[in-house]
Amino acid sequence: MLVMLGAKPGGWIYLFILLELLISMKVEGFDVPLTLVQSAVAKGAVCLDGSPPAYHFAPGFGSGVNNWLVHMEGGGWCRNVEECKERIKNFRGSSKYMKQLSFSGILGKKQNLNPDFYNWNKVKIRYCDGSSFTGDIEAVNPATNLHFRGARVWRAIIDDLLAKGMNKAQNALLSGCSAGGLASILHCDSFRDLVPAGARVKCFSDAGYFINGKDVSGKESIKDFYNQVATTHGSAKNLPSSCTSRFPPSMCFFPQYVVQSMRTPLFILNAAYDAWQIKNILAPSPSDPRKVWGECKLDIKKCSSNQLQVMQGFRSEFMRALPANSSSIGMFIDSCYSHCQSGAQETWLRSDSPVIDKMPIAKAVGDWYFGRTSMRKIDCPYPCNPTCHNREID
């Protein structure tokens, strides 16, 4: 096709345009192969279907060779055997279906697009357990062959990374998106304890600050959901003890009951109108049998005035659930209708990326991590921010 273009009158011009387009499509991301941790299988650290856990690793370079960014993939949860059996049919529950991924945003390697972390060792841990890496049940029912071993997967992968050089880390950041953003909170202090004592270690949760709220029918459906997750996966012993000593295990899937007692600095990136939370906490399908929230959940611009009023109430509830002002906790809470904003270049750092007070997400996170300034950016209510990208990115 390229030769044919070049052979026609003026064809080289079109060829040049095509090449420029292809380059522009690739410039923001780069492909990273999959690493299977075969040695983890003997430890019982496996995906839901018993396949080995996996991650993607891009080595650091230059001044970043001893700096590590570990990012945990998102993808919801499975609360019972039926839901977990569905996950083993795809990469959410089996490494058999995983392929190479493209890194961009906070995982990107171009300095102008990711100035603070571009040359770090970068890892994306694949999520195949359905419990935010908290499950650990020894017994496997032969009828289902489901392995609830998320906590073992987490530790096996971290041990593998420590052996690859993370045991010499000078700077480390544990991050994650959605269920992975929740995992970055739940495993934050244990990550701090595994990385060298002299390293600067912090954690970063993107769209992982799920709140304990009632749905539009008045039910506590999300609390019941997490209770089922914790029971199915045997999560209790792998949730932060500072939380489980005060609350039932299922409550410790809500960061609002965990973060106040964390020892390690944390940055919270979240949309105040988080698209996943609006769809699954505020207005889950069972609470909306007539589907009056259907169009609104797909596009915030299609919400009625009454629905927007309910969503403003959800924002207020979300704000009350955030931790009190603290020098160790950074925040970037925008008024977008989105979910996950650090993994895609368009929302992490670009000329049209979301900003609060003219500050993009990448700069806010970098300034906080390196202690250049304290960081607590709270946006005004929707629809005040014209820079928002109202979409879900995972």
CA distance 269 to 326: 15
Q: SS3 sequence, 252-313?
A: HHCHHHCHHHCCCCEEEEEECCCHHHHHHHHCCHHHCCCCCCHHHHHCHHHCCHHHHHHHHH
- Percent of the chain scored above 90 by pLDDT? 90
* Catalytic residue of the set 71, 187, 339, 389: 339
Cβ atoms of 285 and 279 closer than 8 Å? no
**pTM, entire model:** 0.92
Kindly state the tokens that stand for 311: 């969503």
Of the candidates 340, 338, 355, the one whose C-alpha atom is nearest the C-alpha of residue 389 is 338
Bridge partner residues of 72 (DSSP): 125, 176
Q: Phi first, then psi: what are they for 172, rounded to 5°?
A: -145, 140
- Per residue in 59-82, pLDDT tens? 999 999 999 999 999 999 999 999
Of the candidates 240, 185, 188, 210, the one whose C-alpha atom is nearest the C-alpha of residue 77 is 210
Q: Is 274 a catalytic residue?
A: yes
Average pLDDT, the chain: 92
pLDDT at 117 > cutoff 90? yes
Q: Is 187 a catalytic residue?
A: no
Q: Is 178 a catalytic residue?
A: yes
Mean pLDDT, to the nearest integer, of 371-393? Answer: 90
* Catalytic residue of the set 175, 178, 221, 235: 178
- Per residue in 318-337, pLDDT tens? 999 999 888 899 999 999 99
Give the residue with greater pLDDT, 3 vs 48.
48
Residue 261 CA: distances (Å) to CA of 71, 335, 354: 22, 27, 30
DSSP per residue over 98-123, as a string?
A: ---EEE-GGG---TTTSTTTTTSEEE
* Catalytic residue of the set 159, 274, 334, 379: 274
- Per residue in 187-213, pLDDT tens? 999 999 999 999 999 999 999 999 999
Of the candidates 13, 27, 54, the one whose C-alpha atom is nearest the C-alpha of residue 346 is 27
Kindly state the tokens that stand for 242: 């500072």
pLDDT at 315 > cutoff 70? yes
DSSP per residue over 117-159, as a string?
A: TTTSEEEEE---SSSSS--------TTT-----HHHHHHHHHH
Q: Phi first, then psi: what are they for 235, rounded to 5°?
A: -80, -20
- Per residue in 209-267, pLDDT tens? 999 999 999 999 999 999 999 999 999 999 999 999 999 999 999 999 999 999 999 99
Residue 388: CB atoms within 10 A of its CB come to 23
Of the candidates 160, 176, 157, the one whose C-alpha atom is nearest the C-alpha of residue 45 is 157
**What are the residue ranges spanned by the domains of the chain?**
31-378
**Which residue blocks in 234-339 are alpha helix, DSSP H?**
241-244, 275-277, 294-298, 305-321
Fold of 31-378: Rossmann fold (3.40.50)
